[in-house]
Amino acid sequence: MLNVKLWEARTRIFAWYLGLSAILVGLSIPVFTQLAILQVDQRVREDLKEELDAFEKFSQEDSDQDIKLIFDRFLQYKIPADKTFLIATINGKFYRSSPISLPQAISGDSSLITDLAQTTSPIRGKNLVIDPQVGDIIYKAEPIKTDGHSQGVLIVANIAQGERKEVISAMIIAIEVLVITFFLALILAWKVAGTVLKPVRTLINTANIISDKDLTQRIPVRGQGEMAELAQTFNNMMNRLEVAFRSQRQLLNDASHELRTPITIVRGHLELLEYDDSQEVAETIPLVLDELDRMSRLIEDLLVLARSERRDFLILKSVDLDDFTRKMYRKMQGLGERQWQLDSTGEGTIKIDRDRIVQAMMNLAHNAVKYTTSKDTIALGSSIDEKHIYFWIRDTGIGIPLEDQKKIFCRFVRSSNNQNTTKGIGLGLSIVSAIARSHNGRVELFSQVDKGSTFKIILPKNPEP
């Protein structure tokens, strides 16, 4: 069905092309013909004028007053251009012509010449003659006056047939060439429309193949231009989709795996429990509750991680940085007995999701408390520069080995520095980095084993992309 649509697109492009070029060709042929004929006529008229001018000059030089003599001399002496005829009439009657033999249409007793012989003012015109040997006649008639009386008329006529024929045959050749190129261009247009639309077909085919089971298909990007850009955009979109799908699937795998552990523990406790032994019941209940707590925290964390990939994850609000930092500082101190310290607070109003940043910073503070003792320092700070906002938690605890520093931001990964000594599921830092990323920011870590760690959240001042 999609293919049919594509054919439609090709056919439509082709039909438009066909229509437009047919109109253009159809218009240009008569226009060109008309223009060429006009040009020929113009040239003929100029020739005719020249003949008349020549006569005027001649008659001025000739002192003779007798019109017959003037005509005689002029017509003997003057041989007109090809297909041009000079006809002299006296007192409304044909007198003589040059050359002597005239075509039927302009012979001495033809209606045209008898009419023109009567004129007392200059006339110019064009007559269509049925005889195909003659074609159009273009003429000029000039009454010749001596003593103020019109005595004769000098007519110059041209039978346009010769030149007209040339124009027409040239036009026929032009039309033939035009028609041939028109059809060649049509074939080309059909092919070009097909080539141009080919990537679209590939796109459609690829899009059809892609399912949620196979997101690996990509469209080959060839050349440049819109089609290549379209393919590239499509591929980029597929890359993003693939990453999102994979991470969602991974999250699901991790989640079910992690949830199985507390369920197994709870089940084990309950199966082995002697219900009559009230002391054992009293000991088991807190253990079970503890595991259930762990489960609900885990689910809570997983939900945050899953939501963090959604567009509406953040609710951005304007926050006073100094006030915000001080409130967080007070809240953190409840986490445990440590040497708490406020490094610095930035000044100004920032745009962040307040609750999410608090959540991230509390995760970091919680970790700091976990990996320090009561003698250690934990410091909180914030600052701001032209482009960024910084929040950090610094501790003088056990530190993190270099080889673990990248890994610990992944889900369910814990460093070797703490194995078995503290409780945790390894989601805290993934949440911190997810919250930073959703603000278009990042987390940096500086840490040395036995010296301590600093986790720094760096956010752009303008969190929107």
Q: How far apart are CA 313 and CA 330, in angstroms?
A: 26
**Residue 255 · residue 233 · CB < 8 Å:** no
Minimum Å gap between C-beta 279 and ligand ADP is: 32
Task: Break the chain down into helix, strand, coil percent, rounded to 5.
Answer: 55, 20, 25
> Does residue 258 belong to the site contacting ligand ADP (CB under 6 A)?
no
36 vs 400 by CB, closer to ligand ADP: 400
368 binds ligand ADP (CB under 6 A): yes
Distance separating alpha carbons of residues 459 and 168, to the nearest angstrom:
79
Phi then psi for residue 223, to 5 deg, are: 65, -150
Residue closer to Mg ion, measured from CB, 397 or 428: 428
For residue 290, give the 3-state DSSP assignment.
helix
Alpha-carbon separation of residue 360 from 86, 138, 397 (angstroms) = 109, 99, 19
Q: How far is the CB of 450 from ligand ADP (least distance, A)?
A: 10
Is the bond preceding 80 in cis, omega lying within 30 degrees of 0? no
Long-range CB pairs of 243-251, under 8 A, 24+ apart, other chains included: 244/309, 245/212, 245/215, 247/309, 248/306, 248/309, 250/411, 251/302, 251/305, 251/306, 251/411
CA distance 375 to 372: 8
Please, what is the minimum distance in Å from the beta carbon of residue 316 to ligand ADP? 25
Contact criterion met (CB below 8 Å) for 307 and 313: yes
Structural contact between residues 446 and 364, judged by C-beta atoms closer than 8 angstroms: no
Q: Kindly tell me which of 292 and 425 has the beta carbon lying closer to Mg ion.
A: 425
Residue 417 interacts with ligand ADP (CB under 6 A): yes or no = yes
Choose between 238 and 427: whose C-beta lies nearer to ligand ADP: 427
Question: Quick check: 308 binds ligand ADP (CB under 6 A)?
Answer: no
**Residue 454 interacts with ligand ADP (CB under 6 A): yes or no:** no
426 binds, among ligand ADP, Mg ion, none (CB under 5 to 8 A by kind): ligand ADP
Contact residue for Mg ion among 346, 381, 399, 428 (CB under 5 A)? 428
Spatial distance between the Cα atoms of 436 and 364, rounded to a whole number of angstroms: 12
Using rule CB under 5 A, residue 367 touches Mg ion? yes
Q: How far is the CB of 342 from ligand ADP (least distance, A)?
A: 18
Q: Is 441 among the residues that bind Mg ion (CB under 5 A)?
A: no
408 contact choice in Mg ion, ligand ADP, none (CB below 5 to 8 Å, kind-dependent): ligand ADP
- Is 369 a binding residue for ligand ADP by CB under 6 A? The answer is no
Q: How far is the CB of 427 from Mg ion (least distance, A)?
A: 7
Among residues 453, 456, 457, 459, which is the contact residue for ligand ADP, using CB under 6 A? 453
> How is 56-122 classified by DSSP, letter by letter?
HHHHHH-----HHHHHHHHHHH--PPTTEEEEEEETTEEEEEESS---GGGSTTSHHHHHHHT-SS-
371 binds, among ligand ADP, Mg ion, none (CB under 5 to 8 A by kind): ligand ADP
Contact segment (CB under 6 A) with ligand ADP among 188-196, 343-351, 379-387, 414-422 equals 414-422
The two structure tokens encoding residue 413: 């990964």
- Name the binder of 217 from Mg ion, ligand ADP, none, CB < 5-8 A by kind: none
The answer to the question of residue 424 lying near ligand ADP (CB under 6 A) is: yes
| Contact status: 443 vs ligand ADP (CB under 6 A) | no
Binding residue for ligand ADP, selected from 84, 325, 415, 438, defined by CB under 6 A: 415
3-state secondary structure of 384: strand
DSSP 181-233: HHHHHHHHHHHHHHHHHHHHHHHHHHHHH--SS-----PPP-SSSHHHHHHHH
Total of residues contacting Mg ion (CB under 5 A): 2
Q: Are 6 and 201 in contact (CB under 8 A)?
A: yes
Which listed range, 86-94, 197-205, 335-343, 424-432, lies at the site for Mg ion (CB under 5 A)? 424-432
Q: Which position among 10, 338, 356, 414 is part of the footprint of ligand ADP (CB under 6 A)? A: 414
- 138 and 41 in contact (C-beta within 8 Å)? yes
Task: In angstroms, give the least distance from the CB of 465 to Mg ion.
Answer: 28
Residue 359 binds to ligand ADP (criterion: CB under 6 A): no
State the Cα–Cα distance between residues 291 and 271, nearest whole angstrom: 15
- Least distance from ligand ADP to the Cβ atom of residue 379, Å: 12
Residue with the closest Cβ to Mg ion?
428
Amino acid letter, residue 83: K
CB 414, min distance to Mg ion, A: 9
Residue 441 in contact with residue 359, Cβ under 8 Å? no
Residue 85 binding ligand ADP, by CB under 6 A: no
Residues in the site for ligand ADP, rule: CB under 6 A? Answer: 367-368, 371, 395, 397-400, 408, 414-415, 417-418, 424-429, 453
Residues near Mg ion (CB under 5 A) are 367, 428
